[in-house]
Amino acid sequence: MTEKEYEKLLDRIKFDLYKEFIDPDTATYGIKYVDEEIAPESLTDREILQDELGRLCLIQNKYVDDEEYRKAAIIQNKITKIQNKIDKL
């Protein structure tokens, strides 16, 4: 890898990290990279939603601990939506 390619990759990583932490509404928190490693047929929809729910609860707790209540409220909205999806299954 050349120095120029390395700098371009580094800029891309910085940009992706910036997007993750600046806009919690669109943040994936790295789950898009983990999802590729799990075979979708091995988990049921309920299990996938429950895993996501657990992950979001951990993130919400971190925001509350850090007193970032606006971000915690955004995560709470996502948690509510997932809970509703689980209830419908």
> Which among 77, 63, 75 is positioned nearest to 24, based on CA atoms?
75
Which tokens is 78 given? 């996502």
Contact 84, 76 (CB under 8 A): no
pLDDT digits (tens, 9 = 90+) for 34-75: 555 555 556 688 888 888 888 899 999 999 999 999 999 999
What's the predicted TM-score (pTM) here?
Answer: 0.53
Residues 6+ apart with CB under 8 A from 64: 72
